[in-house]
RNA sequence: GGCGCCGUAGCCAAGUGGUAAGGCCGCAGACUGCAAAUCUGCCAUUCGACGGUUCGAUUCCGCCCGGCGCCUCCA
């Protein structure tokens, strides 16, 4: 079966257009990864989640996805932080070791976070420092084509040499100077808009040897070098946060296309930022959160994931704790519906609705609506609406006439299909109850059997204080859930 | 100054030139010993304001108000 067609908003055209992979059925995807000198904050994570959602959508639609996400492990802030306590006389090897120690640590934290959020691991997770030779080769190639020039040990890209420079960000090259504060001391460049490909080492910085002397890569060159190396000379999709449109992605285009001589990426996709309680997230406002911060407050990673996915990726998301609470409740509804479908349907009804509500037809309608929404630029709010509509319909039907095992299976299959993308409603393993809780539940069962209501209620209240909410089922069994 | 985005019910959030999806909260009822869960019903004559185009606009155009982003630190 050929994969479903998926459309995405392409920043190049500013239009939603179908993604047509160069190789049918196989999507090549490059996503800008983290700079590892700190914990990822929830804003960063929103972008990684949107990218995962996009990837999972292609996978669920029947494509193979070759996904490359870089780890930026050499950069100004990394150098600043990692070299702090070093002896000024430290040699280059010691400086590299200090940098690696820092980036290894935060890379691990990052991968822990993405695993907690059920982000599918990329096919390739290259570290910039492992591709220095490729970057140098790319800079040399640009130099040979007259698109780069050395200055005092650094190498700059000559944007005047690339006619379509600015095509992504839609910059008016003549108007670019206006209003932009130009660093007066960057005197060595031919033009203020030229950007650095290779930076000459300054005293106290780790460096690599290069044809231009000791130095290190500029900000944008790694993505071009690693993207071309691992995914090839033409890439279907490249994504990141909106702030990367300019200069990062614009400059990646300049580097890659200047070197390759043809279009590099077909579709550029950018995710919006998030605000926290209506304000830009900042440490000084006290609204700066990492996933760890949320988990310390008792927030389940899947609740955060659901919150992010409840909004469209190209809209500013106002993150709030009230919103998190709403997500938690909505998720509970989905999970309990799932549990209900996993049951045997022992609550039978009169059959009054059976003729008018065909569960199989409802599932099929939901599937169509779900996919139409997802295929239309990942419209997750609409896709979720299709799911919730189905839940309401099936719940109502199951109340009247228990669904057959086959119908339950069809519903569960649809839940699995949607969870392959949303990754939020798995069959959770219920934690084992402590002996004390088990004993209390038994005590209440006995009190209830004896119709000793005050005792039964007292025990139930006590369990509630312990975070366990009881649910008396129709068949006489007692279920429970965490508050 | 240049380019661009957003403003839909208490909160979150889709959407369309033809009369407002979905979620959360809330209210009423069914069920329950009482709850919980579940189900049913209710919850925007209205889509920031004002004009215009149109048979008809939340949806197109203009203008205004409000919030925001980018213009080489940045998811």
Write down which residues 163-182 in A have CB closer than 7 A to strand B.
Answer: 169-172, 175-176, 178-181
CA atom of A287 to C1′ atom of B18, Å = 45
Q: For strand B, is any atom closer than 7 Å to the CB of A32?
A: yes
CA atom of A49 to C1′ atom of B9, Å = 29
The CA distance from A310 to A314, in Å, is 12
CA atom of A378 to C1′ atom of B20, Å = 22
Please name the residues in contact with A211: beta carbons below 8 A apart, sequence gap of 6 or more: A136, A140
Q: For strand B, is any atom closer than 7 Å to the CB of A34?
A: yes
Write down which residues 396-435 in A have CB closer than 7 A to strand B.
Answer: 396, 399
CA atom of A391 to C1′ atom of B28, Å = 23
What six digits make up the tokens of A343?
Answer: 């049951």
CA atom of A407 to C1′ atom of B33, Å = 35
Which superfamily does CATH assign the domain made up of A7-271 to?
HUPs (3.40.50.620)
Residue A188 has a pLDDT of 67
Q: For strand B, is any atom closer than 7 Å to the CB of A38?
A: no
CA atom of A122 to C1′ atom of B6, Å = 33
Q: For strand B, is any atom closer than 7 Å to the CB of A311?
A: yes
What fold characterizes domain A279-422? Isoleucyl-tRNA Synthetase; Domain 1 (1.10.730)
Report in angstroms the alpha-carbon separations of A340 from A41, A346, A468.
36, 10, 19
Residue A361 has a pLDDT of 92
The CA distance from A367 to A130, in Å, is 44
How are beta strands A195-200 and A154-157 bridged, if at all?
A: antiparallel
SS3 A256: helix
pLDDT digits (tens), chain A, 483 positions: 789 999 999 999 999 999 999 999 999 999 999 999 999 999 999 999 999 999 999 999 999 999 999 999 999 999 999 998 899 899 999 999 999 999 999 999 999 999 999 999 999 999 999 999 999 999 999 999 999 999 999 999 999 999 899 889 887 665 544 334 444 444 567 887 899 999 999 999 999 999 999 999 999 999 999 999 999 999 999 999 999 999 999 999 999 999 999 999 999 999 999 999 888 887 777 788 999 999 999 899 999 999 999 999 999 999 999 999 999 999 999 998 998 898 876 554 444 444 457 899 999 999 999 999 999 999 999 999 999 999 999 988 888 888 889 999 999 999 999 999 999 987 565 566 778 888 888 899 889 889 999 999 999 989 888 888 888 877 777 888 776
**Nucleotides, chain B, CB distance < 7 Å:** 1-6, 11-15, 21-25, 31-40, 68-75
CA atom of A180 to C1′ atom of B44, Å = 45
Residue A93 has a pLDDT of 96
Cis peptide before A424 (omega within 30 of 0): no
Please name the residues in contact with A471: beta carbons below 8 A apart, sequence gap of 6 or more: A478, A479, A480, A481
ipTM > 0.90 (yes/no): yes
Determine the nucleotide nearest to A239 by Cα–C1' distance.
B75
Report in angstroms the alpha-carbon separations of A30 from A4, A236, A326.
21, 8, 33
Four-residue CA torsion sign, A159, A162, A168, A171: positive
The CA distance from A131 to A217, in Å, is 10
Where are the domains positioned within chain A? 7-271, 279-422, 435-482
């Amino acid at each position: 079966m050929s994969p479903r067609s998926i459309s995405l908003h392409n920043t190049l055209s500013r239009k939603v257009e179908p993604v047509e992979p160069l190789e049918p059925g196989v999507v090549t995807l490059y996503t800008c990864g983290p700079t590892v000198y700190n914990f990822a904050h929830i804003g960063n994570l929103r972008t990684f989640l949107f990218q995962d959602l996009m990837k999972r959508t292609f996978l669920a639609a029947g494509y193979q996805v070759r996904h490359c996400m870089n780890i930026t492990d050499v950069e100004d802030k990394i150098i600043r932080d990692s070299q702090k306590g070093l002896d000024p006389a430290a040699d280059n090897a010691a400086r590299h070791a200090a940098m690696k120690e820092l980036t290894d640590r935060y890379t691990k934290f990052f991968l822990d976070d993405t695993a907690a959020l059920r982000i599918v691991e990329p096919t390739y997770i290259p570290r910039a420092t492992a591709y220095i030779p490729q970057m140098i080769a790319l800079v040399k190639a640009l130099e040979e084509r007259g698109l780069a020039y050395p200055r005092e040990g650094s190498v700059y890209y000559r944007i005047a040499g690339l006619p379509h420079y600015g095509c992504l960000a839609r910059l008016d090259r003549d108007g670019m100077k206006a209003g932009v504060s130009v660093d007066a001391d960057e005197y060595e460049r031919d033009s203020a808009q030229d950007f650095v490909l290779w930076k000459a080492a300054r005293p106290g910085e780790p460096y690599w040897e290069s044809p231009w002397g000791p130095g290190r890569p500029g900000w944008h060159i790694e993505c071009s070098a690693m993207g071309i190396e691992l995914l090839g000379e033409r890439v279907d999709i490249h994504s990141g946060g909106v702030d990367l449109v300019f200069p990062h992605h614009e400059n990646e285009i300049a580097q890659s296309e200047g070197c390759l001589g043809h279009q590099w990426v077909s579709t550029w996709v950018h995710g919006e930022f998030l605000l926290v309680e209506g304000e830009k997230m900042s440490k000084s406002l006290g609204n700066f959160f990492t996933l760890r911060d949320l988990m310390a407050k008792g927030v389940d990673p899947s609740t955060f994931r659901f919150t992010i996915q409840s909004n469209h990726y190209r809209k500013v998301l106002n993150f709030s704790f009230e919103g998190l609470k709403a997500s938690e409740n909505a998720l509970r509804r989905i999970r309990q519906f799932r549990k209900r479908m996993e049951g045997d349907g022992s609550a039978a009804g009169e059959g009054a609705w059976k003729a008018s509500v065909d569960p199989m037809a409802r599932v099929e309608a939901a599937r169509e609506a779900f996919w139409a929404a997802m295929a239309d630029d990942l419209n997750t709010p609409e896709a979720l609406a299709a799911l919730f509509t189905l839940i309401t319909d099936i719940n109502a039907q199951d109340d009247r006439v228990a669904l057959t095992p086959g119908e339950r299976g069809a519903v569960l299959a649809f839940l699995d299909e949607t969870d392959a993308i949303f990754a939020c409603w798995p069959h959770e393993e219920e934690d084992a109850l402590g002996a004390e809780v088990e004993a209390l539940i038994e005590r209440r069962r006995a009190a209830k059997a004896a119709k000793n209501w005050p005792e039964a209620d007292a025990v139930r209240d006590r369990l509630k204080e312990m975070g366990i909410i009881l649910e008396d089922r129709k068949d006489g069994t007692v279920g429970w859930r965490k508050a």
